[in-house]
Amino acid sequence: MVEWQSNLRSHRGRLVSGPGSGPGTQVHAASYLRERRIVLDRALLAHHNELARILTHEMFHFVWLRLGNPLRLSWQKLLHSEMQSRARGELGWSAELRKDKLDPTRLDLRTRSWRDYACESFCDTAARLYSGSRNHPEFTLAQRFVAARREWFADLVRYREGGLRI
C-alpha cells in the first residue's frame, strides 16, 4: 500500500508529518516492511522523475528483505571491495550519509551501521538502475563502480531466473 502525507520528517526514529517545518530531518519517504506500506511525501507528485527514483528506492527495501543472507553477503562483499579501492561517493544521499559514518580502516560486516549502509546502498543503486533517472546530483559514485554494481544486479536477475550463481 502507498500512502501520501505532507511535510515528512524523521524525528527520534519516527516519521512525522504536518504543516510547518516542525522537528526532525526532512525526508521524502519511508517504508514499513512488516506493514507492507510505503509513505511518500505529497510534494513528490510535482516532480515525476524524483518520485520514480524515490519510489523505486522504497520498493527495493522489500526486495532487500527477501534477498536472503547469501545474496546480501554477496552485495556486502562488493561494497567492501569498493571501500578497499577507496571509492568515494554513492548513488543517493541515504547511502552516502551512512557510508560517511563508517571507518574504512575498521569495516565489520556484522555491525548495524554496516548493514544499514549496505541496505541503503542496495536501494539507492536499484533506484539509479531501474527508475529511469540517469543524472542526479546525488549520483556521485565513479562510473567503474556503478558498472560493477550494474553487473551484480544483472547477475541477480540471471540467478533468480535459474541461471548464474552469485
Top-confidence residue, 157 or 88? 88
The pLDDT of residue 16 = 87
* 68 sits in which H/E element: none
Domain spans, the chain: 68-166
- pTM of the predicted structure, to 2 decimals: 0.89
Distance, CA of 83 to CA of 151 (rounded, Å): 18
The pLDDT of residue 105 = 75
pLDDT, one tens digit per residue, over 15-62 is: 888 876 678 888 899 999 999 999 999 999 999 999 999 999 999 999
Distance, CA of 62 to CA of 36 (rounded, Å): 8
Q: Which residue has the cell 528506492?
A: 57
Contacts of 32 (CB under 8 A, 6+ apart): 38, 39
Contacts of 5 (CB under 8 A, 6+ apart): 17, 39, 40, 41, 42
